[in-house]
Amino acid sequence: GRAVGYDSAGTVEFVAGQDKSFYFLEMNTRLQVEHPVTELITGVDLVEEMIRSAAGVPLRLKQSDIRLKGWAVESRVYAEDPTRNFMPSTGRLVTYRPPAEGIEDGVTIRNDTGVYEGGEISIHYDPMIAKLVTHAPTRAEAIAAQAEALDAFAIESIRHNIPFLSALMAHPRWQSGQLSTGFIAEEFPDG
């Protein structure tokens, strides 16, 4: 960022190898959809910091000030049908009740959403329903909290990917972290 004179929030994407090597992919001059994961494990409100930076206020933190705490897991809840190659599902959300948000016993549940019960999932927009994020002291606890929160959703009248996400949380390879970019194709070839 310094080399190109960039002075704002952004996202640098890497692919990590099993040996913990990193390979640069790209930098985006905006927040990514995954920013709640970073917010929960660092305790830094990235949206606030980006707005402050855009207003010309210097960043309050240096990289050395950032401390990672715990693990976070994010699921993108979509109006999609995993059994039909994740084809979007449109229509009215007759029932939409997400899990309760909050912090209990060191576990955080956060549900970022822009839909509501009775609202429409349109063909004209991305069919994302919510970003469900859980944070806990360990990866296993964050995954368990994610599975429980996914099970607490009530969505009716459209197809959605929650059963797929729940199966993912229960998958031994996912739980052990033995992942690759081919994971879904290898483990869920039929969706």
Catalytic residues: 26
Q: How far is CA 70 from CA 24, 33, 112, 136, in A?
A: 24, 20, 20, 6
- Cα separation, 59 vs 36, whole angstroms: 19
Q: Hey, which bits of the chain come out as E strands?
A: 11-16, 22-28, 71-78, 80-81, 87-88, 91-92, 95-97, 102-104, 107-113, 120-121, 128-136, 154-156
The one-letter amino acid code at 168 reads L
